[in-house]
Structure 1
Amino acid sequence: MTQPIAYHASRIFDGERFHEDAALLVNDGSITGILPRARVPAEFQVVEAEGLIVPGFVDLQVNGGGGVLFNNDPTADGIRTICAAHAKYGTTALMVTLITDTPAVRDMALDAGRSAAEAQVPGYLGLHLEGPHLSVARKGTHDPSLIREMTAGDLAALTSAAGTFGVAKTTIAPENVTADQVRALVAAGYHVSLGHTDCNAETAFAYVEAGATLVTHIFNAMSQLQNREPGLVGAALSAPELHCGLIADGHHVDWTTTAVAMRAKVGPGRIFVVTDAMSCIGTEEETFTLNGRTIYRRDGRLTLADGTLAGADIDMLACLRLVHERLELSLEEALRMVALYPAHAIGADSKGHLSEGADADFVVLTDDLRLRSTWIGGTCVHSA
């Protein structure tokens, strides 16, 4: 066992409040407490963090990074590269996302997730299977030729793999997945998210009753809130059980719309930030391919040739700064949106906060919210 360490900082945010001139106590990869600097036990080695210490960011929708798109490289090495790329921007736990693809690629992804979990790849939390059981009418960038209904074989493949690859999440549309199939997925341990669907609010509520607890990138690729039909957006904002991911890049959702939604959301489910990041994060690449189609990187946006948004060109640290500044949120609430709330959404109780017993996943930031270092399980995985 290594010597316990006390990381001293001018301010430490534990997920709920800031502690001034305090030390984060870390022992064997876990948080053992936060104490005033003067009260640190003698057995702890004191390390000066030289900045703000905040919980590591939790991202539930990451398609790629570091030049790797998971669909194109569904391997444990691909997962390792993606996690390392996002650690450079403060993400300490992420769900690697497979966009709609073939059954063969899905099975490769499940095997890769299993290998990554067994290898304890730093930052790897689990898999998010976004499709292929979606609605063609709300396909977004998903290849319509690959979208299909969930069969008994699909359900068997998913449920038999549950529990082997970390946290399990899947985005489905009621158009192609039955309520009974949702119940079976939830019973197997999946967090079911509604998305890429044109369903009405009544149907959405029925799927909540069946066990769905999340909404994938609210406002994008779904039925909208209207005067006589609330759509999935209306259901998402009014159903307390639903936690809603939001792509906070300013391109996918207008900031005014975001602010209105945050005021309207009924809890305990919260709106939390996802990046929906693609392979270009951490690289200079200007184009890449998905399902044989070219995606173009221009002016902070990723699009297909026809202009359809295709994921996002943003990291979680940039999202933090944007929601803090553009939504005029307190730093405390902005930090919760990128760490605590996504962790709550999937029941990852040891993530997203720095309370006693939590994993020692934290980020050291400057006062102007630039990254100094990223720590996973008490180990520095990136230093600026």
Structure 2
Amino acid sequence: MITTIIAQQMFDGKNIIKNQAISFDEQKVLAFDSVKGAKEIKVPGLLTAGFIDVQVNGGGGYLFNHDPNLMALNAMVLAHSRFGSTGLLPTLITSGIETITSAANVIASAIKQQVAGIVGVHFEGPHISVPNKGIHSSEYIRPLTESEMDIYCRDDLGVKIVTLAPENVTAAQIKRLTEHKVKVCLGHSNASFAVTQAALAAGAVGFTHLFNAMSALTSREPNMVGAALLDEHSWCGLILDGHHVHPATAKLATRAKKIGKMMLVTDSMSTIGSSQETLEFDGHKIQLANGKLTSQTGQLAGSALDMITAVNNARRMLDVSLEEALRMASQYPADFLGLNTSTPQLAINANADFTLLNTTNNSDLHVSQTWIGGKQIY
């Protein structure tokens, strides 16, 4: 079935266009015009490409670490679609080999079955630094062995990200991962500037939640944060909830980083799209209060951030335009993942993944409808 939406406004990735028609089937965008025989819908608000979140620990009451199954993946997609996300990389926090294997197997199944919204998988750890582990369990932190390498190098997992600490992984291992189409991100690390640069030279292409759980920029040692901001070729994920990074620090970093290389991520836990206010993870009792998730020790424990809130925060905290905030949630993650030929641009033959935004009384945007693969799921 072909559907034509006539949007009050549409953002195509470059410009906001008024009263624009877009026609699509159950997979792709077909035309920027009405198509004969199509079901025609007029909608108020701003239609834009769906958001892509490269770091999603959970949603809808499910945590991927605890529930590496298709039911959990579907619940996560549905939960995040309420906030404009149409593409997720379910993220597995530092775990034992059995959990990593289970997670990989269910992702492979989701990719094979073309489960809506599942783009690939993000393995955050276990090859990280103990001093900067955050809430990751030191019990599972370990060197990268052939057992894990075999999993990461599988070709049935969609887009693959591995976050690691370069001081604990060799340059040869990073190169091998990249040769098997793994996006190597650096994070949960105490690495020096020189070690970080060596990892970038070996093929690392990103930094996981910039500033958080990584060696800080100082006057005499740029460390990982300095290397991340200076490098023109890598991408940085930014948790813009006002808790993980001070707004002024985030603003400064965005101005320093090359345009197109700073992307919004949520690092969200199971509370998103659910009534859940407490959860347990690896012995940590985690409490949601005032939009912030913390363990009993006071540590940040993932986030309660959703993508549309991140977009609103980008406009407010970073002082960027609406168009740039939307690109930070859609185009830039797609560029990072190598998906820019299919999504999230609103273009002919692009995936029919988009979201409809409307404005609240305080000028913030909220999501009113979301389509994935041409099907309205919210």
Over residues 317-360 of structure 1, what are the superposed CA-to-partner deviations in whole Å (9 max), with x where a residue is unaligned? 11111111222221100100111111111111212221222101
Alpha-carbon deviation of 1:141? 1.2
Matched, 1:376 2:372: yes
CA–CA distance in 2 between the matches of 1:314 and 1:18? 26
Alpha-carbon deviation of 1:43? 4.5
CA–CA distance in 1 between the matches of 2:133 and 2:112? 33
Match of 2:143 in 1: 149
Matched, 1:87 2:78: no
Match of 1:273 in 2: 264
Match of 2:128 in 1: 134
**Structure 1 counterpart of 2:375, one-letter code:** T
Match of 1:123 in 2: 117
Match of 2:214 in 1: 222
Contact 2:192/2:222, CA 8 A, preserved across alignment = yes
CA–CA distance in 2 between the matches of 1:257 and 1:34? 40
**Structure 1 counterpart of 2:372, one-letter code:** I
Task: Work out the percentage of aligned pairs sharing the same amino acid.
Answer: 40
Match of 1:180 in 2: 172
Match of 1:169 in 2: 161
Contact 1:123/1:376, CA 8 A, preserved across alignment = yes
Match of 1:96 in 2: 90
Matched, 1:346 2:342: no
Q: Aligned with 2:44: secondary structure?
A: coil
CA–CA distance in 2 between the matches of 1:151 and 1:327? 41
Match of 1:200 in 2: 192
Contact 1:341/1:352, CA 8 A, preserved across alignment = no
Q: Aligned with 1:24: secondary structure?
A: strand
**Structure 2 counterpart of 1:357, one-letter code:** N
Residue correspondences, number: 373
Contact 1:15/1:336, CA 8 A, preserved across alignment = yes
Q: Aligned with 1:307: secondary structure?
A: coil
CA–CA distance in 2 between the matches of 1:321 and 1:293? 30
Q: Aligned with 1:251: secondary structure?
A: coil
Q: Aligned with 2:89: secondary structure?
A: strand
Q: TM-score, normalised by structure 1?
A: 0.94
Task: Identify unmatched segments of 5+ residues in structure 2.
Answer: none
Contact 2:248/2:317, CA 8 A, preserved across alignment = no
CA–CA distance in 1 between the matches of 2:359 and 2:36? 29
Contact 2:251/2:317, CA 8 A, preserved across alignment = no
Matched, 1:243 2:243: no
Matched, 1:65 2:56: no
Matched, 1:233 2:233: no
**Structure 2 counterpart of 1:370, one-letter code:** H
Over residues 91-146 of structure 1, what are the superposed CA-to-partner deviations in whole Å (9 max), with x where a residue is unaligned? 10010000001111100100110111122211111100000000001111111121
CA–CA distance in 1 between the matches of 2:44 and 2:351? 21
CA–CA distance in 1 between the matches of 2:80 and 2:36? 35
Contact 1:101/1:291, CA 8 A, preserved across alignment = no
Change in Cα spacing, 1:122 to 1:157, as seen in structure 2 (3 Å) is closer
Q: Aligned with 1:289: secondary structure?
A: strand
Aligned CA-pair RMSD: 1.3
Contact 2:237/2:264, CA 8 A, preserved across alignment = yes
CA–CA distance in 2 between the matches of 1:330 and 1:153? 45
Change in Cα spacing, 1:52 to 1:110, as seen in structure 2 (3 Å) is same
Alpha-carbon deviation of 1:285? 1.6
Match of 2:6 in 1: 8
CA–CA distance in 2 between the matches of 1:292 and 1:367? 41
Contact 1:8/1:24, CA 8 A, preserved across alignment = yes
Q: In the alignment, which of 327, 330, 338 is matched to residue 336 of structure 1?
A: 327
Contact 2:111/2:156, CA 8 A, preserved across alignment = yes
CA–CA distance in 1 between the matches of 2:355 and 2:121? 23
Match of 2:306 in 1: 315
Match of 1:260 in 2: 252
- Consecutive aligned runs of 4 or more in structure 1 exceeding 3 Å deviation: 40-45
CA–CA distance in 2 between the matches of 1:158 and 1:27? 34
Alpha-carbon deviation of 1:42? 3.6
Alpha-carbon deviation of 1:41? 4.4
Alpha-carbon deviation of 1:262? 0.8
Match of 1:324 in 2: 315
**More displaced stretch, 291-300 vs 241-250:** 291-300
Contact 2:104/2:151, CA 8 A, preserved across alignment = no
Alpha-carbon deviation of 1:316? 0.6
